[in-house]
């Protein structure tokens, strides 16, 4: 029996009413029945300052969002390093700024990653494009076969 259960958060960002912008949420929808007790899911339209408090309660955090870049495999995973960014609105924070605030205010530094999934259509519409569905499928396969597998067998 494990002494300590790693707490992992999957934080899906987007809006299912804007076509492929719903990729982050669709990823969570697809994963929710496959996850073990270490994982929690949260859905967000956009990141705000209180999300710094949220991620401070986890060991590992994945920010999952649609991406405008067209990645070769349809998705891209990279570490999310703390960075203070500036934008006209603090209602919509960059994941790196959320990590930066978590570290600065709460003195916590979870392992953080960004999983970007390539989207191609972002107009007002419910439903993900065929291309984005394929990218989502690739991202799910990758996550299940590597990250999830690793976590379960750890």
Partner 1 sequence: MSQKLVIDPVTRVEGHGKVTVHLDDQNKVKDAFFHIVEFRGFERFIQGHPYWEAPVLVQRLCGICPVSHHLAAGKAIDQIVGLDPGDLSLPAQKIRKLLHFGQVFQSHALHFFYLASPDLLFGFDADPVKRNVVGVAMDYPALAKKGILMRKFGQEIIKMVAGKRIHGISTTPGGVHKKITVKERNRFLDGKELPSIDTMIEWSVEILDFMKEYHKKNSAFLDGFADYPSGHLGLVKKENGFLELYDGNLRATDAKGNITLDDIPDVDYAKHFYEGVEKWSYLKFPYLKHIGREHGWNRVGPLARVNICNGIETPLAEKERIEFKLAGGDINNKTMHTHWARLIEILYCAEMMKNLLEDDDIISNDLVRKGTRRSEGVGIIEAPRGTLIHHYEVDDKDRITRCNLIVSTTHNNEAMNRAVRWVAQNEISGQPKVTEAMMNQIEVAIRAYDPCLSCATHALGQMPLDISIIDQYGNILDERLRN
Query: Is residue 78 close enough to count as binding partner 1 by CB under 8 A?
Result: no
Query: Is residue 86 close enough to count as binding partner 1 by CB under 8 A?
Result: yes
Residue among 71 and 106 whose Cβ is closer to partner 1: 106
Q: Nearest 5°: phi and psi at 66? A: -65, 150
Residue among 10 and 77 whose Cβ is closer to partner 1: 10
Q: Which of 36, 70, 90, 141 binds partner 1 (CB under 8 A)?
A: 90
Classify residue 17 as left (phi > 0), alpha (psi -120 to 50) or beta: alpha
Query: Is residue 81 close enough to count as binding partner 1 by CB under 8 A?
Result: no
Q: Which of 68, 83, 105, 152 binds partner 1 (CB under 8 A)?
A: 105
Instruction: Write down the least CB distance from residue 94 to partner 1, Å.
Output: 11
The Cα 21–Cα 62 span in angstroms is: 17
- From residue 94, give the alpha-carbon distance in Å to each of 56, 65, 87, 130: 16, 11, 9, 27
Q: Which of 7, 30, 35, 53 binds partner 1 (CB under 8 A)?
A: 53
The Cα 91–Cα 47 span in angstroms is: 7
Strands (E), the chain: 8-13, 39-44, 60-67, 75-79, 111-118
Q: Which of 52, 77, 115, 148 binds partner 1 (CB under 8 A)?
A: 52
List residues near partner 1 by CB under 8 A: 45, 49-50, 52-53, 84, 86, 88-91, 93, 97, 101, 104-106, 124
């Amino acid at each position: 029996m494990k002494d300590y259960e790693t707490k992992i958060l999957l934080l899906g960002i987007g809006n299912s009413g804007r076509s492929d912008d719903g990729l982050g949420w669709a990823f969570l929808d697809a994963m929710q029945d496959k996850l073990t007790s270490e994982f929690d899911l949260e859905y967000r339209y956009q990141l705000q300052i209180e999300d710094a408090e949220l991620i401070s309660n986890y060991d590992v955090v994945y920010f999952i969002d649609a991406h405008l870049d067209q990645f070769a495999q349809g998705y891209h995973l990279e570490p999310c390093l703390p960075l203070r960014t500036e934008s006209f609105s603090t209602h919509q924070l960059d994941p790196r700024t959320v990590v930066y605030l978590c570290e600065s205010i709460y003195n916590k530094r979870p392992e953080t990653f960004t999983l970007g999934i390539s989207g191609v259509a972002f107009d007002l519409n419910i439903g993900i494009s065929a291309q984005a569905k394929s990218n989502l499928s690739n991202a799910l396969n990758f996550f299940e076969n590597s990250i999830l597998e690793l976590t379960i067998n750890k």
